[in-house]
Amino acid sequence: MEISRLLIKFDTIADYIPIVSTATNLVDLFLKRVYLPNNEHKINKNRYFEHLSQKSFTRCILLLFPIIGNIFFIRH
């Protein structure tokens, strides 16, 4: 399995684990705001970057809050 698929799977699962989701979504927000805008040509070449570009900022921000953010996404 390629690294991009593993990262996508890890990111998706981590969104449902308190504290882990906080750390992973801090990284996601950094990549979405700092890295990806300066490297738009890499988005279509990398499945993980494509996944991040489609993940909403609202989701990333809510998941920064352990337990509360996780419960919100488990219910929806």
Question: Within 13 Å and on the Cβ side, how many CA atoms surround 74?
Answer: 12
Tens of pLDDT, residues 45-69: 899 999 999 999 999 999 999 999 8
Q: Which residue has the higher pLDDT, 37 or 63?
A: 63
Answer for the pair 11, 24: CB distance below 8 angstroms, yes or no: yes
> pLDDT at position 73, please?
80
> Could you report the per-residue pLDDT of 16-31, keeping only the tens digit for each?
999 999 999 999 999 9
